[in-house]
Chain A
Amino acid sequence: MKATKLKILVLLLSLGSIMACNSGSKTESSTTASETPSHLQGQASVEDNESDKNILQVAIGSEAHSTLVVAVQAAQIENILVNAGPLTVFAPVNDAFAALPEGTVDNLLKPENKGDLTTILTRHAAPGSYNMEDLKREASKGRKIYMATGDYLEVVVDGEDVWVAGAKVLASIQTSNGIINVVDKVILP
């Protein structure tokens, strides 16, 4: 979309330059064509193959989270997931999305439902770093997890197992900017 607009701009500018001067003109570029991402994009476009992977990069690399990644892209919240954070993301697996009533996901992915989608995704993110052990500690101290939407979610521990708002935590993954807790359910209000 942006690229299309830029192409039109380029065409207009070329036309302008031809109209403005008919003598041979010197071309000169003051800036280098660097590999660094343009300012038109956010922090998600920073190229860095050396740092530990961030939440977004880990999610993109996880086959079990392809639906979540599509949803994140549709909601255009990539930049939030690469921010300094720290963030804890409860990341439902594809099966969790598939278990929603038929058509729910497709419906949420529609551009006009971007607001709802963003709210649902944001409900899966908590400021701070909470891996499985931290969640157990929170539960043992009777603390709830404060989510980015302002909700407080309850942590339930049974032996080695941990649930957050009814979603079972299957694994905790440390990332450069926080934690991904893989969960088996989408956490709906």
Chain B
Amino acid sequence: MKKVINRTSVVISVLLAMIIVGCSPNSGSNGALSSSVAERVYVAPGEQDEYYAFLSGGYSGNLTVYGLPSGRMFKEIPVFSQFPTSGYGYSEETKPMFETSHGFVPWDDAHHPDISQTNGELDGRWIFINGNNTPRIARISLSTFETEEIIEVPNSAGNHSSSFVTENTEYVVAGTRFSVPVPQRDMPIDEYKGNFKGALSFISVDPEHGHMDIKFQIIMPGFNYDLSHPGRGKSHGWMFFSTYNTEEANSLQEVNSSQNDKDFIAAINWKVIEEYVNNGGGTKMPAEYAHNVYDESTHMATSTMKKEVLTVNPIDIPGAIYFLPTPKSPHGCDVDPSGEYIIGSGKLSADLTVHSFDKMIAAIEAEKFDGDAYGIPILNYEDVLAGTVRSGGLGPLHTEFDGKGNAYTTFFISSEVVKWELGTWEVLDRQPTYYSVGHLMIPGGNSRKPFGKYVVAMNKITKDRYLPVGPEMEHSAQIYDISGDKMELLYDFPTHGEPHYAAGIPAELLAPKAKKFYKLEDNKHPYAVTTPNEVTIERKGNEVHISMATIRSHFTPDNIEGIKVGDKVYFHITNQEQDFDVPHGFAMIGQNSSELLIMPGQTKSSVWEPKKVGVWPFYCTDFCSALHQEMQGYIRVSPRNSSIALKWSLDGDELN
């Protein structure tokens, strides 16, 4: 019956599409109603989207999950920022996620999400994203959609050229945007040139658990390392990083970093370096960086401070690193699905530079170099150039691919997406964006296997696209249908924070394995209670640990006495539900923290330091059930010197 209706409704929508599409001009310029455009982004109530899209939240520090083509937002995944909605970064279990060598840093600037790959194709296991400001890389589970791990990156600053994965997720790379003294030291800023260094970090990813570890850092010249993408197919084993400020300017970079006609794309054969370090190469250098891991079974994060990092000096590994001259401060550095073309978008140029991997290898083998920079060979521009795309646009930034031989490049200054053909370099189409587009995203568009049906353009400027909401506007995104010869603008939707890059994946690869709840029997939290009968309260000096249970619609216990002013009260709350989408919340009056939102089977903890004598209520913040309003309790707080014994109860029955 259900299946019949589903199938029938699909048939109806197909038929509707036939009527509308079949009978209207296919120009897309006659408005939504006459061109079937509305139909193509309309996901009927109860239906689901075809793709997941993960948009970085930029300065929100988080990652947002959208559906395509509808543009509906499903979730904000907290990553680098405290998130009172769930208690992430406030709960005792998740505070360690924000530990760094600079102490507790509860915010970052999240930029470039990238989904793990196997054989160059999206495998949907994890998504990585970089924290730009206090350099970090996070790994997020694509089963729980929660942040599982954050590793700090030492010797780095402005961790922008990140977090891109190699073809089998052997590594996630993190290149520094700002070069800095390595190691850090007190020195005059104007002695930057020749003294500052740019670290490119290769972080290994454990194939089973995804755990990250800095395998090695290449200590490169003091340029700005902007973006990167991996080789794939025949160029697997190489990583390409765009650079700017090869002038090594340390002030007024907007002028001083634009002096050279060409900067470089750094081509790095990481397989050679991997072999070098596996054979004992490299120098262990003292460093300090935090490695924070969240364990799904204990529901707790731990933070470890690491004290050493393996560094590699480029001149010690001949044959591993080359510079490809690339015009005018290249920003995007994108590799086509075949692995042959490396596209550098000179952001001050009108043209795109396309390098050929085969030509690069031939030039390297022929040892045709045009000098070197700090001992790193520079290849001849003409020797590696595959072609130039004369775009007619201005300010090219980023390129994605549709897997059908076409590339799509954003132009910030001329506010457009330009479609062009790989190999002929011919411009095929151009569509305006609204306004000043940064990145764009085709699901799988930077892998061996793109899903070339839609492209999403993420814009920096919104202006009049939506109803005005004061000076601060959310950024706009546009989705285009790219299944035909010409791109067609379908829809426009606001995004959260500042989406830089995004990553998309077919829903069928993620939806079936999305976790519904945590199994109580697997809960290894030290204060977990797996039935309400196990609840307990323990006093250790002025520390009081309350193990509490929630189930529709009460807390066990819900009356607690014997707490005193000056106590440090830990609430450890285990949600006893084993039912999808039945969280319980917990909030305590006057608590200097956020609420906890506890998923079924999960334990979360928060601290309350009562300062005032009285009887203070707590309650469930999530409208969990019909009797949600009844889900509350009281704690009696007595004076510091009180001798009232600890006592806890439910419905008048003492439980201790």
Contact = CB atoms under 8 A, between A and B. Distances in A.
Interface of A: 2-3, 6-7, 9-10, 13-14, 16-17, 20-21, 23-41, 45, 48, 50-52, 54, 83-86, 127-129, 137, 141, 176-178
B15 interface: yes
Contacts, number: 149
B45 A39 contact: yes
Given A13-B12, A84-B626, A20 B21 contact: no
Given A31-B43, A36-B48, A21 B19 contact: yes
29 contacts: A2-B5, A6-B12, A10-B11, A13-B12, A13-B15, A17-B15, A24-B22, A26-B21, A27-B18, A28-B14, A28-B17, A30-B69, A31-B13, A31-B42, A31-B48, A33-B6, A33-B10, A36-B48, A37-B2, A41-B5, A48-B516, A50-B516, A51-B578, A52-B579, A85-B626, A86-B552, A128-B553, A176-B582, A177-B552
Contacts of A48: 516, 580
Chain A CB count within 10 A is highest, among B2, B44, B653, for B2
Interface in B3-45: 4-19, 21-23, 36, 39-45
Contacts of B69: 30
Q: Is the interface of A mostly helix, strand, loop or mixed?
A: loop
B580 A29 contact: no
A157 B338 CA distance: 76
B516 A127 contact: no
B389 interface: no
Contacts of A51: 516-517, 578-580
Given A2-B5, A7-B8, A37-B2, A30 B15 contact: no
A6 B23 CA distance: 23
Interface residues of B, number: 52
B620 to A, nearest CB: 12
A9 B46 CA distance: 20
Contacts of B42: 30-31
A28 B4 CA distance: 20
A32 B507 contact: yes
Contacts of A30: 13, 17, 39-43, 69
B334 interface: no
Interface of B: 1-2, 4-19, 21-23, 36, 39-50, 69, 507, 516-517, 551-553, 577-580, 582, 624-627, 651, 653
B526 to A, nearest CB: 25
A40 B6 CA distance: 10
A26 to B, nearest CB: 5
B12 A17 contact: no
A182 to B, nearest CB: 21
Nearest to B4: A3
Contact of A16 (B19, B45, B582): B19
Contacts of B48: 31-32, 34, 36
A9 B4 CA distance: 14
B532 to A, nearest CB: 11
B23 A25 contact: yes
A100 B379 CA distance: 94
A68 to B, nearest CB: 21
B67 to A, nearest CB: 10
Select the residue from A7, A20, A38, A127 with max chain B CB neighbours within 10 A: A38
B40 A28 contact: yes
Given A32-B47, A176-B579, A27 B17 contact: yes
A141 B651 CA distance: 10
A7 B516 CA distance: 35
Contact of B47 (A7, A20, A21, A36): A36
B22 A26 contact: yes
